[in-house]
């Protein structure tokens, strides 16, 4: 139960930080931390991946100009696809294959959003939103470029902290 609460709290915190703070910074604007966390939960075979994707999609839908439910659809489909690809297609579960999986999930996420908005616009069921603009394609391209860079940085920080903390926690202190 604590793990569920922690994952929902982290998703809510990531959504708030992504919407309010990281979109104003030049480097973090092109990195979707909510998608990164949902795919991470999916890879770790956590039971909270789909409910966290629904919660994150719901919170992103509240602040989005897209019709309600599109972020939920995109995040849940990305979580299912990440789980399937990781279990059935990736045989080499090394760092580079995981980064390629994250890049594919980014394309899938933005493709699902674009396909849903295009379909709703074709059926005249949604308000006018920007579909294919140069800025949108540039943002997805820059996100695909910055994803390996930031993923590598997060990976290095994680293993550096893990190595330092594990050596500190294994030392027994005998004394008075």
Q: How far apart are CA 25 and CA 142, in angstroms?
A: 14
Write out pLDDT tens, residues 82-117: 888 888 887 777 777 888 888 888 888 888 887 877
Q: Average of pLDDT values for 48-60? A: 91
Write out pLDDT tens, residues 128-169: 555 555 677 777 888 888 888 877 887 788 778 877 776 655
176 found inside a domain: no
56 found inside a domain: yes
pLDDT band, residue 67 (cuts 50/70/90): confident
Q: How far apart are CA 36 and CA 44, in angstroms?
A: 12
At residue 11, the pLDDT reads: 92
**51 vs 121 pLDDT, higher one:** 51
Question: Two tokens at 79?
Answer: 């979580």
37 found inside a domain: yes
Tell me which residue range forms the domain holding 80. Answer: 2-170
7 found inside a domain: yes
| Residue 141 three-state SS | helix
φ, ψ at 125 (rounded to 5°): -105, -5
175 found inside a domain: no
What is the share, in percent, of the chain residues with pLDDT greater than 90? Answer: 12
Looking at the structure of the chain, the number of domains it has is 1
Neighbours of 170 (CB within 10 A): 7
124 found inside a domain: yes
Q: How far apart are CA 80 and CA 119, in angstroms?
A: 22
Residue 55 has pLDDT above 90, yes or no: yes
pTM across the whole model: 0.78
**Rounded CA Rg of the chain:** 18
41 found inside a domain: yes
Mean pLDDT rounded to a whole number for the chain: 80
At residue 70, the pLDDT reads: 84
At residue 92, the pLDDT reads: 74
């Amino acid at each position: 139960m604590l793990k569920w609460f922690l994952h929902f709290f982290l998703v809510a915190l990531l959504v708030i930080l992504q919407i309010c703070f990281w979109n104003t910074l030049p480097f973090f604007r092109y990195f979707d931390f909510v998608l990164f966390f949902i795919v991470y939960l999916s890879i770790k075979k956590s039971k909270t991946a789909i409910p966290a994707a629904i919660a994150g999609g719901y919170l992103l839908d509240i602040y989005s100009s897209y019709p309600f439910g599109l972020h939920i659809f995109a995040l849940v489909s990305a979580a299912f696809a990440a789980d399937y690809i990781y279990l059935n297609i990736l045989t080499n579960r090394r760092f580079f294959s995981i980064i390629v999986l994250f890049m594919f999930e980014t394309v899938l996420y933005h493709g699902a959003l674009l396909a849903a908005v295009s379909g709703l616009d074709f059926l005249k069921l949604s308000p006018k939103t920007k579909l294919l603009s140069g800025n949108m394609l540039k943002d997805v391209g820059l996100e695909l470029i910055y994803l390996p860079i930031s993923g590598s940085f997060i990976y290095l920080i994680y293993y550096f902290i893990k190595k330092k903390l594990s050596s500190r926690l294994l030392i027994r202190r005998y004394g008075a």
